[in-house]
Amino acid sequence: MVSAVHLIFCSTIQCTSLECLELAGEVIPEKTTGIEDQTSNFRKVWKTKAVHLLSVFILIYVGVEVTIGGLLIVKLNRVGC
């Protein structure tokens, strides 16, 4: 209900999205303009062990899923379903 009222209010005033968020009471964090900050954060994420473990898990999971699906299709085609 509150978001609907806020949407109607912001669409009639013609304010920017950041101004509307400030009117709603949201805290707007300061933007970093340096590309080096973004790349360093990206590198920090890729250096974590959890990202590597999850990527290996997803690779194996998708590989097994595609293999089982392919084998089922081949088997069902041989049976004649």
Q: Give the model's confidence band at 43: pLDDT under 50 very low, under 70 low, under 90 confident, else very high.
A: confident
Is residue 64 over pLDDT 90? yes
- Calculated CA dihedral for residues 32, 37, 42, 44, nearest 10 degrees: -120
- Kindly report whether the global pTM for this prediction surpasses the value 0.85: no
Structural domain boundaries of the chain?
1-29, 48-81
Q: What is the mean pLDDT of residues 7-16?
A: 63
Is residue 62 over pLDDT 90? yes
Other CB atoms within 10 Å distance of the CB of residue 52: 11
Q: Which two tokens stand for residue 61?
A: 């999971």
Backbone angles phi, psi at 48, to 5 degrees: -80, 145
